[in-house]
Structure 1
């Protein structure tokens, strides 16, 4: 057996400690370099809609916060599930992020047999960013000027009317379904479109009668007189439409609905990177400039950190489940 002198023992011990320190420091060093290249934010919706709008203004601010290039990549299709599946399969290194609306938490309730990812376990909920009420509007040819009048017309001649929605399982889809259920109307169809653009085009053209849609896409149509707003779905009137009542004011006493928007990453995102993204999102959403931009689009800043956003998703998912079951919404 080889015996070590006190000096050689200390040298060996210090050498081993140095190697260990180097090994332990390597991951931390790699994470401290983040970001060192372009970050891609995947938007699973077409350009021009509310999700795309929120994502692009956030991406513009994020590049300044992290001092790196940030690009938005639209991957639409299958109610947002194509883009979501791509992110779920991506490396959890912070370079592939994902912004979507509440539909991310709704899809698993509707596509239980066909969805290819777990909307919770396959993602890291980084932060909630914003939320906004929907506008309940009708084509100007519809004679109703209030929600109560429209309900009476729907009941009197349901075959004459239809609802549009920008996507199956979207906030607008569930809000319309909840409205029809609470008004005890079962024969009015909800027509599904691939995005807000074509839905609003047919709304303006009179092919469909009504829609509940985020302000970003519907507000210009209402302000130009191409659509008539009957109500907004928030708890309070919108400063952008101060003369339009809330659904509660219009007689639907328990009706309150929002489209909300969040930032996700693939599951197992390293804690230092998560913290860096959380901090950046918190600062971005707290700036007056960002809040003014959101307000002009009909949204409000609604930042939540990762644990609070995760809890919010759980509570919203439970609420959506109740709506889907009560309204008997099924995929296909």
Structure 2
């Protein structure tokens, strides 16, 4: 029987198809060679992750079960805390595994899912912070009309819209990234599936187009909310200057300034990472900036926005007192 040898064209086509579909698993390089500080780094991030989960879930619990915290401000804060919990859980456990074992891997499908969830939750958080700044603007600048403007219907609409926009607007970038071809290498120089390191591995000719689309789509998601928040806080600061009580002025100014620091850190890093072309990025700098909005911001959000508030402290003390009384009675 005569065996037909494949034509040269057949070989090249087969090789091309094989190369285009050869990368099914990505490998994370993580933080590089960190053997000397591997254990303390793992313990440090584990402690921070536990603190993030505990602090944010505490806020959700208190707002859900304490009638004294049933106000628009705390309702928005509880959703911000939920967003922080979900976002960090999407990335930090796998990051801990990468640190502990000196690397890790993820399937291409898993990588796209992680990218989509991260993008959706980051976008949702951006809109929630915008809504919260609007809420504070109304409460401080228009206190007499606050509850008539921020009624339950508007409260629910703004929150629902933030979540819906977050998950809908990220669909297009995620679909574009999922359409890329990866021919090798498969090593992601990061600790999660972020945009720039994933694009750097693609052999598809449309990476520049995708990068441009994502940069422009980041304008209404990152830049516009940031400008809006800065504008509302400027109005708030002008209103604070009119407060006759020096103590009240200092207290309100202290609260607003701490909010602005968190907001500027969060949006500033997002603007650098996602609105600056990837060619301008340095991998190590990119990892540090990512830690700011993945680890630092979720850690400080409950402290800055909630745990310093008198109402939160009172609600927490009330729950602890009830528990202590119950244990004594037993």
User: Structure 2 length normalisation: TM-score?
Assistant: 0.26
> Which is strand-richer, 1 or 2?
1
User: Structure 1 length normalisation: TM-score?
Assistant: 0.26
> Which is helix-richer, 1 or 2?
2
